[in-house]
Amino acid sequence: MVMPPTVQHITAQDQWVSVPQGSLRVRVWSPPARLSQVPIILLHDSLGSIVLWRDFPAALCAATGRQVIAYDRLGFGQSSPHWGKLPLDFVLQEAEGSFAAVRQQLGVGRFVLFGHSVGGGMAVGCAARFPEACEALITESAQAFVEDRTIQGLEQAKVFFGDAEQMARLHKYHGDKAAWVLDAWIGSWLHPAFADWSLAPALPLVACPVLAIHGVDDEYGSPRHPQQIVQQVVGPAQLALMPETQHVPHRERPAQVLALVADFLREPLDGRGAGR
C-alpha cells in the first residue's frame, strides 16, 4: 500500500491566471508522488485568501496524496481589485467566472471541490455546473440559505469590524481592497434583495458524492444548512456534524477534518446515500 507523503515533502508554487478584469493569484501544493491525479480545488470564505488557509492546504495535500489548488477570488488577497458591487447571484456565478478560468488555464480536467463558508456554496455551484468533471464535493460550514442565525452573526461581525484594529488586520491580507472585501460580505448578505437567496437551484444538479462538514455551534448557520445540502443533492451524501465547533472546523479541529476528508476520498460512497 502506498502511504501519503508528510507535510515536509509538499512543495508549493504560485502562478497567475488571467481574467477579463485582471489577474488571479493561484497557489498549487504538490506531493512528490500523487496517489490520485485528480486535484482538490479550494474555494475560500467571504474574508478569505490563499494566505488565510494557513497550513491547511499543505496538510490536506499530505493527507490525501493529491495536488491541492487554491486561488484568491477577484477582489481578494493578491488578486486584482473587483470594481463595483457583487451581483446578487455571485455565489453560483463563480462557476462561470474565476473558477472556470483557473481550471482552463491550469489544464485541470476532473477535480474534487472543497469550499468553506460561502466558498462551500460556490463549490456546490461548480459541482452543479460541471457534473461530468466533479469527482467529489466537500462543503465546510456552507450556507444553503439565509436564516436568522446568519443575519445575527453578520450583525455582530459588522460591529466587530467597526474596530479600527480589526480593519487593520483585514488590510494586512487584502491591502487597499479591505473595505471592498468587508462590504462584499456583510453588505451583500444583509441586502434586502438577498434575503430569499438559496442553493436550491443548484443542489439537485449535484450528482457526485458529497461530504457536508458543519460545526454544531457555527455562528453563521445552524445544522439545517448541511442537512439541506445532503437531502437535496442527487448523489450519495454524508453529513458530518462536529460538536463544540464553530465556523472554521479546519482551523478548530484540523486533524478531524483531515481524517474525514481523507477517508471520504479514499472510500467513495457507494450510492446508497449514507448519512442522509
Residues in the chain: 276
Torsion, CA 158, CA 56, CA 233, CA 94, rounded to 10:
60
Does 76 map to a domain?
yes
Please state whether the predicted TM-score (pTM) of the whole model is above 0.75: yes
Q: Which domain holds residue 203?
A: 7-149+197-266
The number of domains in the chain is: 1
What tens digit of pLDDT does each residue of 128-173 get?
999 999 999 999 999 999 999 999 999 999 999 999 999 999 999 9
Say whether pLDDT at 91 is over 70: yes
DSSP 91-156: HHHTTTTHHHHHHHHHT--SEEEEEETHHHHHHHHHHHH-TTTEEEEEEES--SB--HHHHHHHHH
Instruction: Give Cα 179 to chain centroid, integer Å.
Output: 21
Dihedral angle sign, alpha carbons of residues 261, 132, 270, 267: negative
Looking at the DSSP assignment, which residues form a beta bridge with residue 28?
Answer: 13, 69
Report the CATH number at residue 240.
3.40.50.1820
Position 275 confidence tier, pLDDT thresholds 50, 70, 90: very low
The reply to whether 174 falls in a domain is no
Residue 29 has pLDDT above 80, yes or no: yes
